[in-house]
Structure 1
Amino acid sequence: MDQTQFKQLFDQFFERLRNYIFYRSGDPELATDIAQETFMRIWEKGIDPDKGKEKALLFKIAGDIFVSNYRKQQVALRFADSIIQTNSSLSTDDQISYNELKHRYEKALSGMNEMQRVVFLMSRNDGLKYQEIASNLDISVKAVEKRMSKALEYLDKQLVHE
């Protein structure tokens, strides 16, 4: 798909796609972000939709992104709730230990090799798979595996065996 065809596809379907996500989410900013991400994926992956099937493909991709985003939000909310519940039920000693561990973790992250930290955070915070990380960083999956292994080894040394 060349630039002209992509622009025509964008102009023809962007508003409809954005409205579809808006109706599902009720959030205009999220709807715009997901619509833009949908078109970015089409462009980056060089997908050339079959004539007459463009709309179905775009709405499928946007729906998948929306569901993935929703799931990530739910996991984050459950985690935040568990932290709040855990923190409220912790004794003073446990709270001090928790804060100390959190500080050591943040310090360990800041002292980690940048390449390892990027891979670690993309995996743990963004929930990306090794293949996705490799694609985003333009490196091999083996390189991602090695960097992740080194990052975990470093954190183990800094947090557990300190």
Structure 2
Amino acid sequence: MLDKTEFKVIFDKHFDELRRYIYYRCGDEETASDLAQEVFMRVWEKRLQLEKDYIKPLLYKMAGDCVVSDYRKRSVHAGFVQNMRIESECLSPQDELQFEELKQQYEKALQHLTESQRTAFLMSRNDELKYQEIAERLQISVKAVEKRITETLRVLRTKLL
């Protein structure tokens, strides 16, 4: 179990070396800083379950996992962007207008949701978090997350059709 001062000591001691390790794996300073911060954020979230003796190997394991996960996300995103470019080049002005109208309807529908529904939905769709991760961050049950997202999808179907 880590308290605030112990966490700060661990952060100060290992952050720079962990960031360098991530940088050597991914080759981008900004990504390395972001991923190092993400590792420490996860450590803070799991601080009650951690043993201080094994923190350094855990940091490197988590950093490696974050690099792999980030690489996968970037690969999927790059493929999606490439497909979007090809499709957007083929869109007629009418298609673009319809897309913009649908986008506005979607944004308006999101505003009609409750804050809890919108938060859970956007964490799932935009941040690509699993229901378990959303539940942990919002400090609710997985069933509550499922219910919020199910209700959100029902509302969006109604508003967008």
* Percentage of matched positions with identical amino acids: 52
2:108 maps to what in 1? Answer: 107
1:98 maps to what in 2? Answer: 99
Q: Distance in 1 between matches of 2:149 and 2:141?
A: 13
C-alpha spacing 1:109/1:2, structure 2 compared with 1 (3 Å): closer
Q: How many residues align?
A: 159
Letter in 2 for 1:110: Q
CA deviation profile, 1:96-152 (whole Å, cap 9, x unmatched): 222221221122112222211111110011111111101101111111111101100
Partner SS state of residue 76, structure 1: helix
- List runs of 5+ in structure 1 lacking aligned partners: none
How far the C-alpha of 1:5 sits from its partner, in A, is 4.1
Q: How does 1:110-149 map to 2 (within 5 A)?
A: 110-149=111-150
Alignment check: 8 A CA contact 2:2 2:50 kept: no
Letter in 1 for 2:43: I
Letter in 2 for 1:86: E
Alignment check: 8 A CA contact 1:119 1:133 kept: yes
Q: Distance in 2 between matches of 1:158 and 1:29?
A: 39
C-alpha spacing 1:137/1:50, structure 2 compared with 1 (3 Å): closer
Q: Distance in 2 between matches of 1:2 and 1:93?
A: 58
C-alpha spacing 1:102/1:2, structure 2 compared with 1 (3 Å): closer
Q: Distance in 1 between matches of 2:38 and 2:127?
A: 15
C-alpha spacing 1:98/1:43, structure 2 compared with 1 (3 Å): closer
Q: Does 1:39 align with 2:40?
A: yes
How far the C-alpha of 1:27 sits from its partner, in A, is 2.0
Q: Distance in 2 between matches of 1:5 and 1:106?
A: 43
Q: Distance in 2 between matches of 1:2 and 1:137?
A: 21
Larger RCO (CA under 8 A, 6+ residues apart): 2
C-alpha spacing 1:40/1:96, structure 2 compared with 1 (3 Å): closer
